[in-house]
Amino acid sequence: MNLVLLSTLLATAVGAEPSVQIKDGLIQGFTSNKVEHFFGIPYADPPVGDLRLRQPRPLSKPLGTFDATSSPRLCTQKIMASDLPIIDTWPESISGSLRAYNSTSNNQGEDCLTVNIQRPIETKSDSKLPVIFWIFGGAFEQGSTNSSDWSTLVTKSIEQGGVIIVAVNYRLNTFGFLGGEELQAEGATNLGLRDQRLGLEWVHDNIAAFGGDADKVTIWGQSAGSISTYYHLLINNGDNRSNRTGKPLFRAAIMDSGTSFDAEPVNGTTAQAQYDHIVSAVGCASSYSTLDCLRAAPWQKIYDATNTLPHLVSQDGFSIDYVPRPDLSSPFFTSAKLTPSQNVVDVPVIVAHQEDEATIFLQPTSSVNTTAKLINMVHKQFPSTPTSIFETLISYYTNNTSYGAPFRTNATQDVMYPHSKINSAVVSDIAFIFQARSFLDTIAGPQPSVNWSSPVYALQGSYFYGTPIVGSFHGSDLALLAGGTTGMRMGMRMEEGETLRKEGTIDGIG
C-alpha cells in the first residue's frame, strides 16, 4: 500500500473515525470503502540503540492515544536486484514487477515493529470474527505490511460473516536474520521469526478488543512469509501456545509459495562469513566486541554494508543471502525441516505454489547460459548438497524449448537466452515445489513419517499462465488475493475465456 493508495483511502473515509481501547492505549483508525483501518500499531519496543540485534521486547510503555491512520515505517530494506539490461526488452507492464524489487523508500528504519489491522465496518468488540495473521514475503530481505491492501478481501468476507486481517512487520536482512557465533552466544538469532512470534502473542492478547476471536487465528504467508508460516509449525518443538494463557496462538496455516528452505546452521561457515563481512564493511573488525560495535554504528552504515552483499537477482544468478538458520543452542528454532523425531503443530493446512515460480527471478539471469553454470549457481545457494546431486538431478531436465518454465508456451516464445527455460524450471522445483511436496509427503503421503490428523489441502496456481515471459510467476497470485504489490497488477492476464472459480470455505481455515 503506497502513499497514493493511502491518500485515496483517507480521502474516501466516511463517518466517525473508529477507535479501539486496548490495555496499552486508545487506537484511532479510519474508515474507507466499508473497511476500518488501523495502521502501524506497535507490538514491541523499538529495536534501536542497545536493543538492536537483540530479541524483541514486549511494549514497556503505554501508547496513550495512538493515531493509526498513517502509513507505517518499513523495516530496513535491502535492494534486491542489480542492473538487468535484459528486462529493458520486456513490456513495461511485466518488467515493472521485477523493478519493484529495487524500489526504495525514505520511510524505512529500525523502529518498525508494528501491525496493520483491517476489519469490516461496524465490527464490535463482541463480534468474535475469525482472524488472518498475514506474513509478507520478500526473501527475508525486503517487504512490508504496506505491500498489499486487503480491503477487497475484507469486503468480500462480509458475505460470509466477515474476517479481520492483521499484517505484521518484522525485521529483515542484517537487522533480522544475521547469523554468526557472536549472535548465537547472546541468543539473538532468527530475530525476524521472533518478531513474528511476538506479533502473534500481541494478537492473542489484543484482537478481541478489535472484534476478533483469538481462538480462530489462521497464519498465512507468501514466499518468505510462507516459509515463516511453515517454521511456526516447528518453532519451540511444535509448541504454539501463548506464553500468557497457554492457549494456541493459531488454529490453521496457509503456505503460499514456500515451505522449508535448506540452510546451514546459524553458526556455520556461510552465516559466519556473512557476519564477518558485515562487521568489516561497517568498520567494526578491530573492535573488542564486534557485536557491540554493530549496535552502536549509525543505521546508514549497516544499511550500506547490507547492500554490498549479492543481490537476489542479477545477470549472474539467483542468490538468497538472509534466511532463518537452525540454532541448536536454543529450543526456539532447531531445524528447518520436519523430521520424524520432531513435534509439529497439527492444524489444518493449505500448501500452495505457482506453476512458474522462478521465472521472475531466472528469466533475467542471462549469464547462466550453460548446464555447468546452472549447477554452480544452485550449489552456491545450497552448499551443503554435493555438486554430484545437482548434476544427476539436472540431467533429467531437457533444454528443449518446448518445455521448461513458463510451461505453457510454444517452442519459440519466451526464450530469453540459452537455458532460460530450464533454469526457471530447475529453480522452481528446487526452491519451491520439491520442498512443498516433501512436506506434503511427510504429513499426508502414502506412508507419512509423522502423526498428522488435521485436514491437508494442496493447490497449484496457474491463473496467469498466459502472461508473456513469466507465466504464473512467484507472487502473481497476490494480484488476486490482496490487490497485488507495487508493479504487480499490470501485465498479467489469463488466457481468453478462462474464469476464476469461487471456492467455498474450508472447515477450520479462516
pLDDT band at 8 (very low <50, low <70, confident <90, very high): very low
The pLDDT, as a whole number, for residue 495 is 35
| Average pLDDT value for the chain | 85
Would you say residue 503 has pLDDT above 50? no
pLDDT band at 317 (very low <50, low <70, confident <90, very high): confident
Would you say residue 9 has pLDDT above 80? no
More confident call, 14 vs 286: 286
CATH number corresponding to 3-369+424-481: 3.40.50.1820
pLDDT band at 367 (very low <50, low <70, confident <90, very high): confident
Would you say residue 446 has pLDDT above 90? no
The pLDDT, as a whole number, for residue 197 is 98
Would you say residue 14 has pLDDT above 70? no
What backbone torsions phi and psi does residue 220 show, to the nearest 5 degrees? -145, 125
The string of pLDDT tens digits covering residues 192-228 is 999 999 999 999 999 999 999 999 999 999 999 999 9
- List the grid coordinates of 461: 496456481
The pLDDT, as a whole number, for residue 243 is 92
Residue 241 gets which letter from DSSP? B
Would you say residue 253 has pLDDT above 90? yes
Q: What is the DSSP string of 354-382?
A: ETTTTHHHHTT-TT--SHHHHHHHHHHHS
The pLDDT, as a whole number, for residue 327 is 95
**Mean pLDDT across 360-382:** 85
Taking the C-alpha atoms of residue 480 and residue 495, their distance in angstroms, rounded to an integer, is 15
The pLDDT, as a whole number, for residue 362 is 80
The answer to whether the CB of 297 falls within 8 A of the CB of 178 is no
pLDDT band at 104 (very low <50, low <70, confident <90, very high): low
Would you say residue 135 has pLDDT above 80? yes
**Mean pLDDT across 404-430:** 79
Residue of 285, 315, 259 lying closest to 435 (CA atoms)? 259
The pLDDT, as a whole number, for residue 82 is 60
- List the grid coordinates of 110: 529500525
What backbone torsions phi and psi does residue 117 show, to the nearest 5 degrees? -125, 130
Report domain extents, the chain.
Answer: 3-369+424-481
H helical segments located in 382-471: 387-395, 420-428, 434-444
Would you say residue 476 has pLDDT above 70? yes
Tell me how many helices (H) and strands (E) the chain has.
Answer: 17, 16
Taking the C-alpha atoms of residue 97 and residue 505, their distance in angstroms, rounded to an integer, is 30
- List the grid coordinates of 1: 500500500
The string of pLDDT tens digits covering residues 45-86 is 999 999 999 999 999 999 999 999 998 999 999 887 666 666
State which of 74-78, 462-466, 504-508 shows the largest mean pLDDT: 74-78
**Mean pLDDT across 354-364:** 84
Would you say residue 499 has pLDDT above 50? no
More confident call, 13 vs 448: 448
**Mean pLDDT across 150-154:** 90
The pLDDT, as a whole number, for residue 81 is 65
Residue owning grid cell 507472487: 475
What are the catalytic residues? 223, 357, 474
The pLDDT, as a whole number, for residue 136 is 93
The pLDDT, as a whole number, for residue 384 is 80
Q: To the nearest whole percent, how much of the chain has pLDDT over 90?
A: 53
